[in-house]
Amino acid sequence: MNGPSPAPRAATIHIGEDMVVSRMGFGARWIAECGPEDARALLARALELGVDFIDTADVYGDGRSEEVLREVLHPYPSQVVIATKGGQIKTDAGPRPNGRPEHLRSACEASLRRLAVDAIDLYQLHSPDPDVPIEESMGALEELRNAGKVRQVGVSNLFRARLSAAASISSIATVQNLYSIADRTNDPDVDWCQENGTAFVPYFPLGAGSLAAVGGAVATVAQKHHATPAQVSLAWLLHRSNSILPIPGTRSVEHLEENVMATSLALTADDRALLESKDASEDS
């Protein structure tokens, strides 16, 4: 590859000023669908593997995901950061945003009860509400932080210039947007996070699409390293920027172990050149 060598890949990442976690998190979107024993085994193994950042939301399983985390992990180990989100509601037509300050305050209180904590480590606006100025939604989250209800504030599904607008109201610890090796539309947001000392938390981080098919860039690199396409996809994210904190979700202990092993997969300059070539990108 031309240009300067990339910085050494960091093993940990800061969430705000006072929390440091390993750079492979766990997305708990599907944990509510596991039976009690399966959920217990999955989360116990995650902790054994050093996973200390767990992401959920109040709409996952209608709050059940948060409840499962409480039932299995409470009292939470001191090193574990629990992140949740508010600002969406379920309707017959599917989820829709609700960024009204009164809703965010109520949603935060409900998450506090389900998680059985006095303060949420990281509370994220799930999505901006087109009917509510972002300044009002972020102002509500800043009020919750000032009241000691949340320790750090993050945003999700917020892009480009709106990130700067949100950051002018409340210090943003994390940005959680769609991003993967096959969908790099939000490259500018990754760069914004790198420049501003903010963690970028990609959702759907395992998306590789046709790149994982035989002959595709991901499949080719995976074969070279005797790895899986999922591991290459995650390793690429970890190499892409030291601001990135992937949160792959799974119901399977086996897949959890596979995902965490991606942290030890070192991609070469040639690997990255192939994976980052224009021909390899599905949205190029």
Lay out the sheet containing 199-200: strands in order across: 26-27, 53-55, 81-86, 120-125, 150-156, 172-176, 199-200
Give residues with Cβ within 8 angstroms of 273, minimum separation 6. 1
Structure tokens at 151: 């320790």
Q: Count of alpha carbons within 13 Å of 248, Cβ hemisphere only?
A: 29
Query: Would you tell me how many other CB atoms lie within 10 Å of the CB of residue 36?
Result: 10
Report the DSSP beta bridge partners of residue 13.
21
Catalytic residue selected from 60, 123, 179, 203: 60
CA angle, residues 56, 90, 157, in degrees to nearest 5: 55
d(CA 133, CA 99): 8
CA angle, residues 80, 199, 143, in degrees to nearest 5: 80
Q: Is position 60 annotated as part of the catalytic site?
A: yes
Q: To the nearest 10°, the Cα dihedral for 272, 257, 11, 208?
A: 30
Burial of 12: CB neighbours in 10 Å, binned 0-12, 13-18, 19+: exposed
d(CA 183, CA 250): 20
CB of 136 closer than 8 Å to CB of 170: no
Please identify every residue annotated as catalytic: 60
